[in-house]
Chain A
C-alpha cells in the first residue's frame, strides 16, 4: 500500500496556472478572459445577476420565463433563425435561470467566434418577447411541471423547499407553480427584463482559443453600445429556522420512498463555508467513503445512493440528505440518517477521516474545471460571490487549516437532528412513517 503515503504538497503550481484577466467596460460590464489554446473552441458565458429570488411573491417563475424567452426571438431574428444559425455551425446557445443568477452562453468553434458573440449579444440586448412565443413557452413550462410530477425526487424537493424557505424568496421552484405562472403577463416579462438586464448586472466570461485582444475587441463591438443601467437593489434575507420536527407525507403509488430530510444552511460567503464543506464530506458528500453511504448503503443495503448537501447560495441555502429506499425500510433509513447526523455532532471525527476528507477536497480541486464550460462556470461564480481569483491558489490552504474541533463545532452549529423538515414521497401509508 505504498500509495497511501502520497502527500499533497505539489498542488499550488496547478492552481497558479488559472490566471484570468478581468476588466470592467465603460458601460459597467465585468469581463473575464482566460486563454486556452489546446482546442479550437470558445465558450462565451454571461452570468446575469438576477434569478428566481427576484421574482415577485405572487409571480414565481418570472425570471425563468424571461431567461427561457431570450433565445426565442430578437428584434431582428426569429426563434427559428436563431436556432438555425447556431445549429448550422454545430454550436450551442443556452439560457437558464437559477435562484441567484441566470446564465446565457454560446459555445462555438474558433472559426465561428464572431457568430457566437453576435447571437449571444443579440439575445441579451434585443429579445423580442413576442406575444405568441410568450404564450407558447408558458404552456411548455406548464407541461414540464406536469411531467416533473412523474419524478418523485422533484416532488419531494419542491415540498421540502416550501417547508424550509417558508416566506422566503427560495421557497418556490425556479420555474414557478401553475398558479403563479398563470398570473404572469407579457408586461411583467418586459418590465423584469428592463429592470434586471443591463451591462452592470453582467459578468461576461470568455474561455478558450481566443486572445485577450480579440476578446476585448469583440466585447466592445457587440456589447459596447448597450446602455449603462442602474445596479438593482437587493434585499438579503435569512430563512426562518425550522422550529420543530415537521413531516410532510406525499402519497404516490411507488415501490420506493423518496426521502429528503434537512433544514436551513449557510450562505456561500460564510466564514465557515470551508469547514462545513469538510464536515459535510465526512457526513454524506464524500461518495463511497462518506458515513451515510457506509452505513445506509454498504452496511444495511437500504439504498442505491445517499448524499448530504449544503447548498450554499447568496443568501443562506439549505442542508439536506436525500435517498430512496423500498417502502418497507423507510423508517429504518430515516433513523439511520438521524443517527449519523447525531453522531457527527456528538463526537469528533477521527484523524483519518479528517485527513482523507482534506486530501480529497484539495486533490480533486483541478477536476472541477477540467473542461472549458466548467472553467467558464467556475470563473463566473467566483466573481459573482466575490471570492477573488486567489480562490484558485488559496483553496487548498482554506481546507487544510480545518481541525477536528472545527468540524465538530460546525456540526453542532449547523446540523440539527431534532428540528428539521422531513418529506417522504411514496406509499406512505404502508411505510408507516413516524410522525
Chain B
C-alpha cells in the first residue's frame, strides 16, 4: 500500500488502484510523522492482558476507523516459509466458531463499513472504516478473531491460489515490482528483509496448516497487539466496551525477539533484471539506520530536499532539465523495526540510457556531499514536514495508520511528538554529514531493469476476432 521499500500487501485493492503502479502509490501515500500541531492527542490505555489501546476523538464527521495492529510481518518468518504472515492475514477472514466464514465482511458491509487488511515487513494490520455508531461491531469482530480462528485445510488450498494470483499480479507480471523484490534480496543477505512480504511461489506451496497455526498462536495475542480507534467517538464511554471485549482474551507468550542482524555492507552490489518491458527502471538502495538513530531526522530532511514536490532537486534536474527520466524519487522511512533502505528510483525516458540516469543520480548525491543544501531548501523541507503532519490528520484512516506504524515498529506514538522538534533542529551541516556517511558507493545496491523486446510482436489491430452469437 505504501510503496516499494516496505512492500505492504493490501488484501484487496480496488481494480482502479490496481491500475496504478507502486511508483504512483509510493509518491502519494508516503507516511510521515505527526507534529505537535495535532488537533487531538491520542489517549493511551493498557489493558490487563497487556494490549495497548489508543483512542482519538475526532468529531468532524460521524465516521471512525478501527484498526488492530499485530507486531508480526515478514521479518518474523524463517527461510522456506516466506510469505507466512501475509498468508495468515488472508486466512484471518476464514471465520471462527462464533462468526463462521464469510460472516465478518458481510456484517461489516451490511452495517455500512469497509474492512480489509495489510501486511508489511514489520506488521500485520486489520481495519474497519465505518459510521461511528457501529464501532462496537468492529471491536466485537476483531476481539473474536484474535483467538479461536478456524484454520481449515481446503480453505488454505483455495486461498493459496488467490495469493499466488496476487503474486503474479504484483511481481511476476509487473517489471518494477520484480525489480523491487530483487533489490531487497540483494541488499539483505541474512536479515529477513531479504525475502518479499508476499513470499516465493515454492514457499507458498510448502506452507501447512501447522505453520499457520503456530504463527497465529505465537503472534496473535493481546500483548502483541495495538488497538486504535480514530473518529467521532467518546473515549470514556468506549473504553468499558473495549475492556469487556478484549480483556477476557488471555495474555499470550512473549514472542521471541528476532535477533538476526545484517552485517555491514562492504562494497557495491549490482544486478540486472532482463525481461519483457517497455521502459527501463533504475533503483539504488543504501543501508541506513531507523528511528533509533539521531541521524534519522537528517535523513528524513535529506529525502525531502531530494524528492518532495516538483521544485525538489531530483525532479528539477532529471525530469525538468535533463529530461532523462519520466519519474524520479527518493524514499526513506525511519519507521522500520530494523534498519531499512534509503532508496532512489528513476523511470528512464524512452531513448535515454539507464547508465546516464544512474550517473545523474550519483551526481545529485555528490553535490550534497560536496556542498551543503541552501538554507532556503532546508526551510522548505521543514515546512513540508510540518504541513504534511496537519494534512495527514484530515483522514482518520491515515492518522490511525501513522499511530499504528509508530507503535508496531517499536518507536511508540509518543516519539511522534519529538519528531518535529528534532526536525527543526536539523542543520545544513547535518544533511551534508549523513549524505557523506551513508550514501556511499560501498554501501549501495544498484539494480537496473533492462527491457527485452516482446517475444511476439504486439499487433492489436490484427487481433480482433468476432464471433457469435
Which A residues form the contact surface with B (CB < 8 A)?
Answer: 1, 3-4, 6, 8, 10-11, 14, 17, 36, 38-41, 71, 79-80, 83-84, 86-91, 107, 109, 136, 139-140, 142-144, 146-147, 149-154, 157, 159, 244-256, 286-289, 297-307, 309, 322-326, 355-356, 359-360, 362-367, 369-373, 418, 428, 435
* CB-CB under 8 A for A252 and B276, given A90-B383, A288-B105, A370-B61: yes
Distance in angstroms between the alpha carbons of A36 and B103 in the assembled complex = 37
Taking a contact as CB atoms under 8 Å apart, the answer to whether B387 and A253 are in contact is no
Establish whether residues B19 and A157, one from each chain, have CB atoms under 8 Å apart when the complex forms.
Answer: yes
B162, chain A: closest CB distance, angstroms: 5
A367 neighbours in B (Cβ, 8 Å): 63, 112, 114, 129-131
Q: Decide: B60 and A248 in contact? CB cutoff 8 A.
A: no
Chain B residues positioned under 8 Å from A245 (CB to CB) = 466-469
Task: Provide 25 A-B residue pairs closer than 8 Å at the C-beta atoms, listed in order of the A residue.
Answer: A1-B103, A41-B391, A87-B309, A88-B380, A90-B383, A90-B388, A146-B350, A150-B21, A150-B279, A151-B19, A244-B466, A245-B468, A250-B460, A251-B454, A251-B463, A254-B173, A288-B109, A305-B169, A359-B111, A360-B109, A360-B111, A367-B131, A370-B129, A371-B395, A435-B465
Q: Which residues of B contact A (CB under 8 A)?
A: 12-15, 18-19, 21, 37, 39, 58-63, 93, 99, 102-103, 105-107, 109-115, 129-131, 133-134, 136-137, 140, 157-166, 168-169, 172-176, 276-279, 308-312, 316, 319-320, 323, 326, 347, 349-350, 376, 379-380, 383-388, 390-391, 393-396, 454-456, 458-460, 463-469
Given contacts A143-B326, A366-B61, contact A88 B383 (CB under 8 A): yes
B131: contacting residue among A252, A307, A323, A363, CB under 8 A: A363
Q: Contact at A302–B165, with CB atoms within 8 Å?
A: yes
Residue from B106, B165, B278, B463 in contact with A324 in the complex, judged by beta carbons closer than 8 Å: B165
Partner of B63, one of A10, A153, A360, A366: A366
B-side contacts of A303, CB under 8 Å: 162, 165
Beta-carbon contact of A144 and B326 below 8 Å: yes
Assembly CA distance A100 to B469 (angstroms): 34
Q: Are A289 and B39 in contact (CB under 8 A)?
A: no
B395 nearest in chain A by CB position? A371
A355 and B39 within 8 A (CB): no
Contacts of A8 in B (CB 8 A): 112
Q: State in angstroms the CA–CA spacing of A245 and B465 once bound together.
A: 9
Taking a contact as CB atoms under 8 Å apart, the answer to whether A107 and B15 are in contact is no
CB <8 Å contact, B308 and A38: no
Taking CB atoms, residues of chain B closer than 8 Å to A363 are: 110-113, 130-131, 134
Residues of A within 8 A of B460 (CB): 159, 248, 250
Residue in A closest to B38 when the chains form the complex, CB atoms: A39
Whether A38 contacts B39 by the Cβ 8 Å rule is yes
The answer to whether A247 and B326 have CB atoms under 8 Å apart is no
Known: A3-B140, A39-B393, A149-B278. A324 touches B63 (CB 8 A): no
User: Are A87 and B380 CB-contacts (below 8 A) given A3-B107, A109-B390, A143-B349?
Assistant: yes
Q: A150-B175, A288-B102, A305-B169 are in contact. List 17 more A-B contacts (CB 8 A).
A: A3-B140, A83-B310, A109-B387, A153-B18, A154-B19, A248-B464, A253-B454, A254-B276, A255-B173, A287-B114, A289-B109, A302-B165, A362-B112, A364-B113, A366-B62, A367-B63, A367-B114
Expressed in whole angstroms, the minimum distance between the Cβ of A240 and any Cβ of chain B is 15
Contact A10 B393 (CB under 8 A): no
Residues from chain B with a CB closer than 8 A to the CB of A309 are: 15
Scoring A71, A86, A364 by chain B CB atoms within 10 A of each residue's CB, the highest score goes to A364
Interchain CB contact under 8 A, A80 and B158: no
Chain A's nearest CB lies how many Å from the CB of B303? Answer: 14
- Complex: A323 Cα to B165 Cα, angstroms: 10
Neighbouring A residues of B388 by C-beta, 8 Å: 90
Cα of A369 to Cα of B60 in the assembled complex, Å: 11
> Which 5 residue pairs spanning A and B have beta carbons closest together?
A363-B112, A90-B387, A301-B161, A87-B309, A83-B310
User: Which listed residue (A38, A80, A136, A324) contacts B59, Cβ 8 A?
Assistant: A38
B169→A324 contact, CB < 8 A: yes
- The smallest beta-carbon distance between A108 and chain B, in angstroms, is 8
Residues of A within 8 A of B114 (CB): 287, 364, 367
Which residue from chain A places its CB closest to the CB of B383 in the assembled complex? Answer: A90
The answer to whether A253 and B165 have CB atoms under 8 Å apart is no
Establish whether residues A107 and B175, one from each chain, have CB atoms under 8 Å apart when the complex forms.
no
A-side contacts of B323, CB under 8 Å: 136, 139-140
A299: nearest residue on chain B (CB-CB)?
B158
A41 vs B387: C-alpha distance in the bound complex, in angstroms? 9
- Which residues of A lie under 8 Å from residue B395 when comparing CB positions? 370-371
Given contacts A245-B469, A325-B165, A370-B63, contact A253 B276 (CB under 8 A): yes
Closest B-chain residue to A423, C-beta based?
B460
* Contact partners of B21 in chain A: CB under 8 A: 150-151
Residues on A with C-beta less than 8 A from B350 are 142-143, 146
Are the CB atoms of B278 and A360 closer together than 8 Å? no
Contact A322 B15 (CB under 8 A): yes
Residues of B with C-beta under 8 A to A153: 15, 18-19
Q: A149 — which chain B residues lie within 8 A by C-beta?
A: 278
Given A301-B159, A304-B165, A83:B311 Cβ within 8 A: yes
Q: Which of A40, A147, A289, A373 contacts B326 (CB 8 A)?
A: A147
Contacts of A254 in B (CB 8 A): 172-173, 276
Residue from B18, B130, B458 in contact with A250 in the complex, judged by beta carbons closer than 8 Å: B458
Residues of B within 8 A of A87 (CB): 308-312, 380, 384
- Complex CA gap A322/B18 in Å reads 11
CB-CB under 8 A from B385, the residues of chain A are 90
A297 touches B279 (CB 8 A): no
